[in-house]
Structure 1
Amino acid sequence: MSNQRKRVVITGMGTINPLGLSMAASWQAIMRSASGIELISLFDTTAHTVKIAGEVKGFDAIERYGKKDARHMDRFVQFALGAAQEAMLASGLKVDAGNADRIGALIGTGMGGISTVGAEAQTLSARGAGRISPFMVPMMLPDTAAGQIALHFGLRGPNLAVSAACASSTNAIGEAAEMIRRGAADVMLSGGAEAALTPLIMAGFANMGTLSTKSTDPHSASRPFDKQRDGFVAAEGAAVLVLEDAAHATARGAQILGEVLGYGLTNDAFHMTAPASDGASAARCMQLALDNAGLLARDIDYLNAHGTSTILNDNMETLAIKKVFGEAAPNLAVSSTKSMHGHLLGAAGALEACIAVQAILHAMLPPTINYEHPDAQCDLDVVPNKARAAPVRRAMSNSFGFGGHNACLILGAFANGRS
């Protein structure tokens, strides 16, 4: 048996998010420096201090799945399945009896079916226990997205959910890649989904003081690394990637979009919601991903930052980047696309991984929009306000989450030789 490390490639990507209902539409919006942040329309915000979010617009679950199936899926599952359908179509992969056992799904989510929980809690209060839907439990479970994807495509390989708050889908991609490397599957559909823009969750985040309150100008509210940032903007959506053993993908003649080169994960062990201000654990996470990829910091051309637009995260992440990249840090292109699509919570990392792959494919650096007031504590090249042309061979993507979770992916262009 060969001891050579298996290479894991990306053969399809799909997304549904505030910038668009497809990967192409989302990338075009990013290249225009567009914002998907608007006033909340999903519920009445009269009694809420926060009135803005990144909602998915124009998504019709009944049209996509039929009335019966749509009613039995939480919104986060509807998003996940839609993103998976796009990714599978792009991959050209056909599932049949001969390969179904070797294809799996691993989907990350922070909140799972929280919108179902909220709706059923209202039903319980207003109409009594006998009116609770018998579908509530499977609709709320965090593993339902992976389960529905398996059911839809007939996947009989590894199947599970990952929940690590806002690092969930980055962990999902990293762990799915490791499954392929160790031979547990040939193909994994992996990513994340979130639909937590509910009155309860938004009030909870608002009362923590984590959300931006710039409701008068939604498009300018999310401003990572800007001195006048005042919190993140919550969003919803999903992104799914088709990860594949490189030999398997090559044998079937698949178009290869990129490669998963490295993965790292750590924990701060500091506080349940605040990041460790010294950035040491986040820096170690990035270094572990580099080590896992067999790369040096100087090999990275672009970094898609967690960049939440909170004071604590952006200061900490800047410090962590400086620890890893040293004197090269000021010249490294570092952007936060959350400035445009908002914070998709558990699905953020998957969308941002897709964006990093697009940066590689198109040789374009996504911008950090709304960057108007430089912050001396965040003195990086944040690709301010407009996309910039530049060759990108390898990209790093960071995700950090409540609970002290840190996760990092390194993605690269694919060639028959070393990426």
Structure 2
Amino acid sequence: MSAQGERRAVITGIGVVAPGGGNTKEFWDLLTAGRTATRRITAFDASSFRSQVAGECDFDPAEHGLTHRQLRRMDRVTQFAIVCAREAVDDSGLELGAVDPGGLGVSVGSAVGAATSLEQEYLVLSDTGRNWLVDHEYASPHLFNHLTPTTIATELAWEVGAEGPVGLLSTGCTSGIDAVGYAHQLIAEGSADVMLTGATEAAVSPLAAACFDAIKATTPRNDDPEHAARPFDRTRNGFVLAEGAAMFVVEEYEHARKRGARIYAEIGGYATRCNAYHMTGLRVDGREMAEAIGAALDEARMPTTDIDYVNAHGSGTKQNDRHETAAFKRALGEHAYRTPVSSIKSMIGHSLGAIGSIEIAACALAIEHGVVPPTANLHEKDPECDLDYVPLVARDHEVGAALTVGSGFGGYQSAMVLRKWRGVQS
């Protein structure tokens, strides 16, 4: 606890499963090398779809020690979360047996939960859609688990023995920021001392692909999948659907200090807003995202000039990138032009609810290593997107504080400030 009696939340462990990276080190190596992990879809036959590219994880659950029983009851989305949680706990050095179970909680985010298993079960029950009246006798005994997204949080609580606050947030593509933001708030108010938090998604499926095809949100650049995700580039034409997860051990600072934990970063501030405007549309002035950024900075008690790096939502749609550019200018003023901004979706795609947490991991690692990831595939500047988007190549850059933002269907706009831990601040 600080001299002012404030409870501060710090990140002490990170676990990541992402396209091109089966753990945190591989993920960071991919980002700093500027490599892309997007490819033609292999999870199903996508030949009839408008967009046939994705960021898929090369993930073998057996290699990660998941048992046959776990695989039977867990959707891929939960498998990702469990594997990331184990890596995060190991990375933190936290001895779970020494933690008060009542002070240990779980906050996890996901936009679509176990949608893949639900889709597969429907195909079985309906005989691949032939029967309007389905035969319940063919249903999996774990069908209810797939229907209820909170099962993900339950499995994580069982994994670590959490008996404190446990829940799931589903706020579309801001879920990954919001879940960690909620964990930060629970620690600040004293409801928990340690939170296992993050987000997970396994949405590379025919159903998800069809939904985004219908609204033309995903890119049709199927002939060049490695370069299909082009945030802020003049030729961008939609995002690349992806999957993945990131989980963190977030602790109250004194709890972390007493056990000598390494601290990646402090969660300085978090805020979320809604534009109450349109399910998918965004106002061009970026006001709502700018307000979320301002509120997060206010909570962190930081001036805009303290931000050294902005991790953009950067989905690669025409309207998002314009909206976001306007929001950065509105929130940061002239400092926006002096601050490096990048989108890691250019390399790993857009994993919906999980991406916000994966981007938090990128920010924490940028602070740890003093390196800003690049925006891959950015070759042609868009005059409407005129900030420093770190094209193509990672940049050595001291990051004392990073801003990460998210924008989601329904009008959600979220922002989080991470900063290097330098001890108690007055």
TM-score category, normalised to shorter length: over 0.9
1:61 positional shift: 4.3
TM score, norm. by length of structure 2: 0.96
8 Å contact kept, 2:81–2:245: yes
Q: Output the amino acid matched with 2:264.
A: L
What do the CA deviations read for 1:165-222 (whole angstroms, capped 9, x no partner)?
Answer: 0000100001100000000000001110001111011011011110011111111100
1:63 positional shift: 5.6
Q: Say yes or no: does 1:66 pair with 2:67.
A: yes
How far, CA to CA, are the matches of 2:279 and 2:4 in structure 1? Answer: 39
How far, CA to CA, are the matches of 1:359 and 1:194 in structure 2? Answer: 23
8 Å contact kept, 1:21–1:59: no
CA 1:206/1:61 → structure 2, altered by over 3 Å: closer, same or farther?
farther
SS in 2 for 1:236: strand
Q: Say yes or no: does 1:331 pair with 2:333.
A: no
1:57 positional shift: 0.8
How far, CA to CA, are the matches of 2:205 and 2:377 in structure 1? Answer: 26
SS in 1 for 2:97: coil
What do the CA deviations read for 1:343-389 (whole angstroms, capped 9, x no partner)?
Answer: 01000110000100111111111000000110011001000000010
How far, CA to CA, are the matches of 2:204 and 2:59 in structure 1? Answer: 16
What stretches of structure 1 of length at least 5 have no aligned partner? none
What do the CA deviations read for 1:287-306 (whole angstroms, capped 9, x no partner)?
Answer: 00000100111110000000
Corresponding position of 2:49: 48
Q: Say yes or no: does 1:27 pair with 2:28.
A: yes
How far, CA to CA, are the matches of 2:297 and 2:64 in structure 1? Answer: 44
Corresponding position of 1:85: 86
Q: Say yes or no: does 1:255 pair with 2:256.
A: no
1:62 positional shift: 7.2
Corresponding position of 1:7: 8
> Following TM superposition, where does structure 1 have runs of at least 4 consecutive aligned residues deviating by more than 3 angstroms?
none
1:3 positional shift: 5.8
8 Å contact kept, 2:115–2:146: no
How far, CA to CA, are the matches of 1:180 and 1:63 in structure 2? Answer: 30
CA 1:217/1:98 → structure 2, altered by over 3 Å: closer, same or farther?
closer
Q: Output the amino acid matched with 1:377.
A: E
How far, CA to CA, are the matches of 1:3 and 1:299 in structure 2? Answer: 22
TM score, norm. by length of structure 1: 0.98
Match of 2:159 among 129, 152, 175: 152
1:21 positional shift: 0.9
Q: How does 1:358-377 map to 2 (within 5 A)?
A: 358-377=365-384
* Aligned residues between the structures: 419
SS in 2 for 1:243: strand
8 Å contact kept, 1:62–1:70: no
How far, CA to CA, are the matches of 2:147 and 2:338 in structure 1? Answer: 45
8 Å contact kept, 1:363–1:392: yes
1:410 positional shift: 0.3
1:152 positional shift: 1.3
Q: Say yes or no: does 1:414 pair with 2:415.
A: no
Identity of aligned residues (%): 38
Match of 2:391 among 371, 375, 384: 384
Q: How does 1:260-279 map to 2 (within 5 A)?
A: 260-279=267-286
Q: Say yes or no: does 1:292 pair with 2:299.
A: yes
Corresponding position of 2:175: 168
SS in 2 for 1:65: coil
Match of 1:241 among 220, 238, 248: 248
Q: How does 1:175-324 map to 2 (within 5 A)?
A: 175-324=182-331
Match of 1:400 among 394, 397, 407: 407
How far, CA to CA, are the matches of 1:3 and 1:415 in structure 2? Answer: 16
- Note the aligned Cα RMSD (angstroms): 1.4
What stretches of structure 2 of length at least 5 have no aligned partner? 128-133
How far, CA to CA, are the matches of 1:92 and 1:20 in structure 2? Answer: 22
CA 1:50/1:136 → structure 2, altered by over 3 Å: closer, same or farther?
same
How far, CA to CA, are the matches of 1:98 and 1:232 in structure 2? Answer: 41
